[in-house]
């Protein structure tokens, strides 16, 4: 279990948004404290208690035999994790954030060896318009109405980490030494510097769509936080411009790449062709939109065309080309397009 996952559980309890069964567990843990909850802690003390609890979680996890490397990249505790009596006591102390139990935990924390964690803050867009945010690393976020973004002040830490509920468009400042991670309930998206959109609405499958650069996406449960777009996680996917992934929880392969609904030009090209081979036109479209178009080179070998494209979308261009050649096309798996024709007479 990572610190981020632990903090989320605490935040859900305090916000009144605990998942099924969480509040009941907390209530039982709290009842086992056996200490009066009559001590009010300051904000600083509350954060120290939370940090102390995390130290206890790390220590007890190591005592249970879990390897540090594995612990650092697993987002979620094993099923029996919370059954340990000491953990139940400690979790209740912190979740209640007050009383003798929490104060005792605070006093037990090894101040000389533990650095208190930096609290996360929420930014919620309660208005009707997109809210523009500029983060400490100069990254920009367009936060959609009704959406929330959580981050540490200054994006402190070895990784630049944010949590999203709802929808946002990110333009991330490039920094290969400090990857930028976006957590949603279902996915972890990792970038080094690029622009992309994430949709993470409650009750819907999460989506990630890329405008520029490379993006690594993996399922959140069991995510490897060391993964990057250069070295993606096993089972994850790397998205390029005009590609997207939609999480499908019930699918044996829950992450499948496909093209966005309206691909945009990523490399400007000239679109005037006079008696040019159709293969050359298809290659120009591939380069302009960063997509793979599959076709039978032998069947188009004798096909030429004269055409000028203007402001048409990619699919409108393919429609015109198909009508001229009696061909047809269709998006297929892995964000590709299949273009088929019966060929042309010599």
More confident residue, 86 or 226: 226
Integer Cα distance of 284 and 300 in angstroms: 15
Q: Is the pLDDT of residue 110 over 60?
A: no
Integer Cα distance of 320 and 9 in angstroms: 54
- The strand pairing partners of 143, in sequence order, are 131, 168
Full DSSP string of 80-107: TGGGSHHHHHHHHHHHHT-HHHHHHHHH
Q: CB atoms < 10 A from the CB of 65, how many?
A: 6
Q: Are 255 and 245 in contact (CB under 8 A)?
A: yes
Q: Is the pLDDT of residue 240 over 50?
A: yes
Mean pLDDT on 35-63? 48
- Going along the chain from its start, the domains and CATH numbers come out as 3-108 (no CATH), 121-259 (2.60.120.1440), 272-340 (3.55.50.30)
Integer Cα distance of 117 and 152 in angstroms: 10
Q: What is the pLDDT of residue 273?
A: 97
Q: What is the pLDDT of residue 58?
A: 45
Full DSSP string of 134-201: E-TTS-EEEEPTT-EEEE-GGG-SSSEEEEEEEEEEEEPPP-TTS-EEEE-SSEEEEESS-EEEEEE-
- How does the average pLDDT of the chain come out, rounded? 79
Q: Considering only 10-14, 33-37, 177-181, 305-309, which range has the smallest mean pLDDT?
A: 33-37
Integer Cα distance of 217 and 190 in angstroms: 6
Q: Are 90 and 53 in contact (CB under 8 A)?
A: yes
More confident residue, 325 or 48: 325
Mean pLDDT on 231-249? 93
Q: Are 297 and 280 in contact (CB under 8 A)?
A: no
- The strand pairing partners of 165, in sequence order, are 148
Q: Length of the chain, please?
A: 346
Q: Are 22 and 83 in contact (CB under 8 A)?
A: no
Integer Cα distance of 214 and 217 in angstroms: 10
pLDDT in tens, 187-210: 999 999 899 999 999 989 999 999
**φ and ψ at 163, to 5 degrees?**
-125, 135
pLDDT in tens, 246-296: 999 888 889 989 999 999 999 999 999 999 999 999 999 999 999 999 999
At what angle are helices 43-63 and 3-15 packed, to 10 degrees? 130
How is residue 118 annotated by DSSP?
Answer: P
pLDDT in tens, 70-96: 433 334 343 333 444 444 444 544 444
């Amino acid at each position: 279990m990572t610190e981020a996952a632990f903090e989320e559980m605490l935040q859900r309890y305090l916000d009144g948004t605990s998942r099924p069964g969480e509040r009941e567990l907390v209530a039982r843990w709290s009842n086992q404290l056996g200490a009066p909850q009559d001590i009010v802690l300051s904000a600083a003390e509350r954060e120290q208690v939370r940090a102390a609890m995390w130290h206890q979680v790390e220590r007890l996890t190591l005592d249970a035999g879990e390897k540090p490397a594995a612990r650092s990249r697993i987002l979620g505790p094993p099923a029996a994790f919370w059954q340990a009596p000491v953990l139940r006591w400690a979790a209740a102390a912190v979740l209640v954030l007050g009383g003798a139990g929490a104060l005792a935990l605070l006093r037990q924390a090894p101040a000389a060896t533990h650095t208190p964690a930096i609290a996360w803050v929420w930014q919620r867009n309660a208005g009707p318009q997109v809210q523009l945010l500029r983060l400490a690393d100069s990254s920009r976020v367009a936060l959609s109405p009704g959406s929330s973004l959580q981050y540490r002040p200054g994006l402190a830490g070895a990784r630049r980490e944010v949590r999203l509920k709802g929808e946002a468009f990110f333009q991330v400042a490039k920094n290969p030494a400090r990857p930028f991670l976006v957590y949603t309930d279902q996915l972890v998206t990792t970038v080094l510097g690029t622009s992309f959109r994430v949709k993470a609405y409650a009750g819907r499958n999460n989506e990630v769509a890329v405008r520029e650069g490379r993006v690594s996406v993996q399922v959140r449960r069991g995510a490897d936080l060391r993964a990057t777009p250069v070295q993606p996680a096993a089972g994850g996917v790397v998205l390029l411009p005009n590609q997207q992934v939609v999480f499908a929880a019930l699918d044996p392969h829950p992450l499948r790449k496909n093209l966005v609904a309206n691909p945009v030009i990523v490399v400007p090209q000239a679109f005037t062709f006079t008696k040019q081979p159709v293969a050359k036109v298809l290659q120009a479209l591939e380069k302009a939109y960063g997509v793979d178009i599959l076709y039978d080179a032998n069947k188009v070998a004798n096909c030429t065309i004269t055409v000028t494209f203007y402001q048409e979308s990619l699919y409108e261009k393919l429609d015109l080309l198909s009508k001229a050649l009696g061909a047809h096309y269709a998006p297929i798996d892995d964000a590709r397009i299949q273009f088929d024709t019966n060929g042309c007479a010599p």
